[in-house]
Amino acid sequence: MTLRVKHKRVLTEIISLILILLFAYAGVTKFLEGKMFYNNIRNSPIFGGETIATIVAIVIPVGEIVTSFLIAWRRTRLIGLYGALVLMLLFTGYTVTLLFFTNTVPCSCGGIISLLSWEQHLMFILVLLLLTILNIAISKPIEK
């Protein structure tokens, strides 16, 4: 194994670990604080309504937890990274819409992320989105 391949594997593992922690934490937190997450989704200017809020309040945390498990196993990592990419793109779109097109900005974030402004949220998400894309790009050659 060349040094370059070894560095790629280490970088892939580090980025994967960051994403696993992020999605596992986010999914579990949403389940533990389910009522607050549901209420924020229900009161959202984008998802308003009980039916959509109920669906989103279940699908998003389950998707985050499943994604973290898929990334954790090397065999399913690439599928998990694509799942992470989809979730990150959805959240980026949601954040951009809230920031630029609505007056109300609900937040159900937990931990240190709740201390971020929405502009800082957007920057944080964009960095994670770029890391996810980088991880997909360098994982493909390694998997072959």
pLDDT tens per residue across span 16-47: 999 999 999 999 998 898 788 888 888 887 77
pLDDT higher than 70, residue 105 = no
Q: State how many domains the chain has.
A: 1
pLDDT higher than 50, residue 144 = no
Percent of the chain exceeding pLDDT 70 equals: 89
For residue 19, the model assigns a pLDDT of: 97
Domain range for 50 is: 3-143
pLDDT tens per residue across span 122-141: 899 999 999 999 999 998 76
CA distance 47 to 53: 6
